[in-house]
Homo-oligomer: A and B are copies of this chain.
């Protein structure tokens, strides 16, 4: 028998699982929590932080400041980790994807190890800089506007900035961000951090260098375009369905502000300024759709990614119009990528459906739409909830932990870690079958 080698996918799959266990062990320590903490909730919180999801199965008051430090550390590791891994995957395994990458790689072409170190340093610097600015602004605002003590304002400000930029969406105010419904500063700054975190490292670098380079790669243009488009569509649809419902008691500028915020958090931060449980089922459906699409690749956000969604639309249009090439921004996109994008969507739907089915067995009394919402939220590492997370059975919590794990490392990576890839040497005769 041939000896199996450990491939990068296996390393990621095992590494993330090990980190989640480590985090859970840290949270189980008495120093981390004030009230009692069940083991499944320790795992749930650790997974939810590391996989930057933000679903909470326990009240925010459960954890001590040290506990929150552990959570913030897990979020930071999760956010930087996934940004670094997914970016380096594309940059350093010969899959150069944009002008920006080529520029970044130009200097380190001949040495791959220093290249990785330099990339990692760059990711860390970018993340910490943006978070620091956010943390400072939040701290000042919480101190001045809400009268928090400096220490408390700083603690909350730092945690919230990390939570927002890494699209973690963890709740530290017990009612999430529902106290800030009428606070444009908090909501817009949070939204900005979420969007910056969600467009991805490659895009941030190119934007940063834009004043000098004066050009954007196809990838960056697609990410920016799709992000803007989905934000606007989400805002409009939420306004349409919630104007006289969950947002009935807000004046129209605040309706727009909160609809925009609610649309932003689906990409995939998971804060809420208006309770999701007050919204209509059809709004849940819209959010399920937006959460499933998620953020940009190589970012702290989850979902199948905006570029995947873009490619699915483009492929559909090209096929219907009988075109032999998929064209975007005067560039041709390889069919192999188109095929992978459709596959990612179908795999995602499969995971959500299967997990929903298992949940329905253990929690027969919860309306199925709430279970689907929760599963998509977990798979997209979003963290929005219709309010069931606190009261579900521990078996459903384990299913959600697994869904978050799959959503974060990517179902593709997970499956690649399980199978041995190989080329079959037999060449078969081609035969068509009838389909749809």
Binding site for B on A (CB under 8 A): 86, 90, 95-98, 200, 202, 217-219, 222, 237, 240-241, 280-282, 284-286, 289, 296-298, 304-305, 307-308, 311-312, 315-316, 319-325, 327-328, 330-335, 337-347, 349, 353, 356-357, 360-361, 364, 367-369, 410, 412, 415-416, 419-424, 427-436
Contact = CB atoms under 8 A, between A and B. Distances in A.
Contacts of A325: 424, 427-428
B340 A339 contact: no
A343 B316 contact: yes
B347 A431 contact: no
Given A297-B435, A412-B436, A435-B307, A281 B339 contact: no
B369 A424 contact: no
9 contacts: A217-B431, A218-B433, A219-B434, A307-B433, A319-B340, A330-B428, A330-B429, A332-B428, A341-B435
Contacts of A346: 312, 316, 342, 345-346
B343 A432 contact: no
Given A415-B320, A416-B320, A311 B435 contact: yes
B218 A431 contact: yes
A340 B434 contact: no
A55 B123 CA distance: 56
A417 to B, nearest CB: 10
Given A289-B353, A368-B284, A319 B339 contact: yes
State the number of copies, please.
2
A418 B262 CA distance: 36
A434 B97 contact: yes
B282 A368 contact: yes
A331 to B, nearest CB: 4
A105 B418 CA distance: 45
A352 to B, nearest CB: 11
Contacts of A431: 97-98, 217-218, 331-333
Nearest to A281: B368
Q: Name the residue among A307, A368, A410, A436 with the largest chain B CB count within 10 angstroms.
A: A436
A155 to B, nearest CB: 35
Contacts of A304: 436
Sort A-B residue pairs by CB-CB distance and give the 5 closest, nearest first: A282-B360, A322-B421, A344-B436, A342-B342, A281-B368
A255 B146 CA distance: 63
A332 to B, nearest CB: 4
Contacts of A284: 368
Given A297-B436, A344-B435, 14 more contacts: A97-B431, A219-B434, A282-B361, A286-B357, A297-B435, A315-B343, A319-B340, A320-B412, A321-B421, A324-B423, A328-B433, A332-B430, A332-B431, A335-B339
A364 B284 CA distance: 13
Contacts of A327: 424, 428
Given A284-B368, A421-B322, A432 B345 contact: no
Contacts of A330: 428-429
A412 B298 CA distance: 34
A25 to B, nearest CB: 31
A430 B342 contact: no
Contacts of A341: 435-436
Q: Name the residue among A217, A335, A341, A346 with the largest chain B CB count within 10 angstroms.
A: A346
